[in-house]
Amino acid sequence: MKIFKITPGLFDPFLVLSCVIPFALYMATLAPSVTFFDSGEFLTATASMGSAHSPGYPLFLMYAKLFTWIPLGNIAFRINVATAASSSIACLLVYLLVVYLLKKEALLDNPRFNSFAVKAAGLAAAVAFSVTPRLWLQSNHDKPYPLLAFITAIIFYLLLKWREQYREGSERPGYIYVCTFLAGLAMAVHQTIVLLLPAWILMIVLTDWRLIKRVRELILATSFALLGFSVQLYLPLRALNNPLLNWGDSKTIDQFLWHFLRRGYPSDPHTRDLALLWAQIKAFNVPREFTWLGVVLALLGLTYLWKANRALLVGYLVAIATFLLVIAGYFNTVLDLIFLTEEFFTPLYLLTAVLVGLGLFNLLGYAVRNAKLPERIGAPVYALCLVMFFSLPSALCAVNYYENDQHNNYIAFDYASNSLRSLPQNAVMFTWGDSGAFPLWYLQGVERMREDVDLPHTPHLVFDWYLDSMPRLFRDSNLRRYDVTSSGPEVALRIAITENLGVRPVYIDFSTRYSVDFRDYLPSQKGIVYRIRKLSDPLGLPDMSIWDNYATRGIYDKISFLDLDTGKAIMIYSNSYIESGEFLFGIGRFEEGMLMLQRAEQISPEMKPAADQIRMRFGLAR
């Protein structure tokens, strides 16, 4: 193979397309507002410049805050655009890495074709990465992991540049200092960045192991890492200003460490078995992300690295091993939460996309070497190359588009607004699950909807910092006098309900209704929420009028993607209609009851057996 060095021009359309194509795709499928999981919390923390759940995500919040100043759409939409942008520039880094690794390669004595082949391979890899299900799912609503992948890619790129300069006799320690600064900075996006440290250290040691003996350089590198890490000062500084969402209240060193070290998420030891271990390992799933064709191309890329850049090959394999050893081996994630760990592997998928690009280029090289091409290469050859390169990205896009099209997803927004719409003036509603609570936080805290209502989150009632954040409810609460941390959130909920019942209208959401055994009170249905009343309270009939005021976009006519919590929200609507229908049958309002059961079946066909059972009980079987 002949050597040909690419000379970059002033304008590289492939470089631009590697960012523009993903961004256009993400904008076409972008969620228009709040979604489930952590969305409402991240949105509220960003808008208020507060703190999200542990470890706080300060760099992501500051980055996303810049996009709230865009005069387009609501705040949620603008922050979703921030994630689309971070994913797009991560794809651009895939392009840069592929082109850098192939910059000295040539397929023919044709500089124009060689340059085209390298850049087309880089663009194909970038677009392939952009349409993988994991990245795409993170790119159409607010998520920090694409930003982490972008920073990770920059560090790998700078290490490759440094390694090249070092091997050519030009020591450039500045590259290392920038890398350590970025690594410290990335800790403020997500702590999984530390799992890449062994890979980066090995890349340095494999270049020259004697570098680890240079005390001065080690001290400087550590200083730059601490400088980057200093962005964590955001947490205590903002906590002093008591922002709207101040998770952990990091005013003191103890509270900062509690927040940063995730001490609010204790886990009970559980038994490991082979089935669980395999499920944990499968969370890193290259065939699912790139298909088996992508796996073959990645293996070709690894073969190329074995010859051309073994340090990066070792770094990639060590990174995979480290992630699996820590996430599967050390944390031993329970089966129900493994889906959350899938997001942690995004930086590894970025590197896999780079391997796919290298594999595509080498596959083209095999084809070129075995084809009799004319000296003057015409448009048909370029077209065939593009078809070969972009078959995989096109297939991935076609397969994953429907599942990741969020442009019409208002389910979380409507679920939260319907819940708030159900509440009387000056009510207090206790929530349980994060996904049910977070959209409410966004609507109230950012969209300023129903600010007369208090929305305490039951699992947090055991934390003093959370009680401090809601002085209207808990300034003189007995929750401060009892050891509710040991007793648990259910005991805390009963204490809080007892204090407020008779003073204000007290409500609970659907998740709380079916998570807690209410022995001393009776929940009375009002749409998808429940009013809490004493056993002696005669005013306990369910309120059926609220259903006519509900917005139900995406409930009857399903949107494309139904994640776990979106599916739960739809089931809540269906179960609530079933419950209303059963009540209406019980008081003789059969026509209205039949309508409720029909709506439940229309929303969730799997509820038909439950609806039929109610009809049979009242002699109205169809």
pLDDT tens digits, one per residue of 153-171:
999 999 999 999 988 888 8
- Nearby residues of 412 by Cβ (< 8 Å), 6 or more positions away: 33, 34, 35, 36, 39, 40, 435, 439, 566, 569
- Domain assignment present for residue 466? The answer is no
- Which of 387, 404, 421 represents a domain boundary (last residue)? 404
CB count within 10 Å of CB 436 equals 25
For residues 517 and 423, state if they share a domain: yes
Average pLDDT score over residue span 269-293: 87
Pair 308, 438 in one domain:
no
Query: What percentage of the chain's residues is helix, strand, coil (to nearest 5)?
Result: 65, 5, 30
| Length of the chain (residues) | 622
User: Tens of pLDDT along 315-335?
Assistant: 999 999 999 999 887 788 887
Rounded to the nearest 10 degrees, the angle between the axes of helix 145-167 and helix 346-369 is 50
Mean pLDDT of 396-415: 92
Compute the CA torsion angle 255, 259, 261, 267 (nearest 10 deg): 110
Task: Kindly state whether residues 297 and 400 are assigned to the same domain.
Answer: yes
Find how far residue 309's CA is from the centre of its chain.
Answer: 32
**What is the mean predicted confidence (pLDDT) over 355-376?**
85
Average pLDDT over residues 501-527: 88
Task: Identify the H or E element spanning 452.
Answer: none
pLDDT digits (tens, 9 = 90+) for 110-152: 888 889 999 999 999 999 999 999 999 999 888 999 999 999 9
Based on the fold, state whether residues 519 and 578 are members of the same structural domain: yes
Residues 396 and 445 in one domain: no
Give the pLDDT confidence score for residue 1 in this predicted structure. Answer: 39
Q: Is residue 194 part of a domain?
A: yes
* Predicted pLDDT of residue 541: 64
Residue 588 has pLDDT above 90, yes or no: no
Is 8 within the bounds of a domain?
no
Say yes or no to pLDDT of 559 above 70: no
Final residue before a domain boundary, out of 363, 380, 404: 404
Query: Using an 8 Å Cβ cutoff, are 435 and 36 in contact?
Result: yes
Mean residue pLDDT of the chain comes to: 89
Q: Tell me the average pLDDT across 393-414.
A: 92
Domain shared by 453 and 360, yes or no: no
Q: Say yes or no: 375 and 441 in one domain.
A: no
Residue 131's closest CA among 26, 278, 46?
26
| Confidence grade of residue 256 (pLDDT, cut at 50, 70, 90) | very high
Cα–Cα dist 575/509, whole Å: 13
Task: Say what the pLDDT of residue 267 is.
Answer: 67
Confidence of residue 6 (pLDDT cuts 50, 70, 90): very low
- Residues 451, 582: one domain? yes
Split into its structural domains, the chain has a count of: 2
Asked, for residue 236, whether it belongs to a domain, the answer is yes
Average pLDDT over residues 552-579: 82
| Structural tokens at position 543 | 């309120």
Chain segment 70-110, per-residue pLDDT in tens: 998 899 999 999 999 999 999 999 999 999 999 888 888 78
Contact 146, 132 (CB under 8 A): no
Is 477 among the domain residues? no
Percent of the chain past pLDDT 90, that is, above it, reads 57
- The secondary structure element, H or E, covering residue 587 is none
Predicted confidence band at 377 (pLDDT cuts at 50, 70, 90)? confident
- What span, in angstroms and rounded, lies between the C-alpha atoms of 379 and 442? 53
SS3 at position 96: helix
Strand partners, 431: 457
538 pLDDT band (50/70/90 cuts)? low
Instruction: Please answer whether residues 539 and 529 qualify as being in contact, where contact means their C-beta atoms are separated by less than 8 angstroms.
Output: no
Mean pLDDT across 509-518:
87
**Region of residue 268 (left: phi > 0; alpha: psi -120 to 50; beta: else):** beta
- Is 493 among the domain residues? no
Asked if residue 157 and residue 73 are part of one domain, the reply reads: yes
State pTM to two decimals.
0.91
Query: Which of 46-60, 204-218, 293-307, 325-339 is predicted least confidently?
Result: 325-339
Does 61 share its domain with 77?
yes
Whether residue 183 lies inside any domain: the answer is yes
User: Which of 380, 404, 428 is the endpoint of a domain?
Assistant: 404
Residue 11 has pLDDT above 70, yes or no: yes
Tell me whether residue 481 is in a domain: no
Contact 22, 87 (CB under 8 A): yes
Q: Angle at Cα 184 formed by Cα 179 and Cα 188, nearest 5°?
A: 130
Residues 325, 442 within the same domain: no
Range of the domain at 549: 411-459+502-617
Q: What is the pLDDT of residue 561?
A: 62
Average pLDDT of span 539-561 = 76
Residue 337: what pLDDT? 79
Residues 437 and 549 in one domain: yes
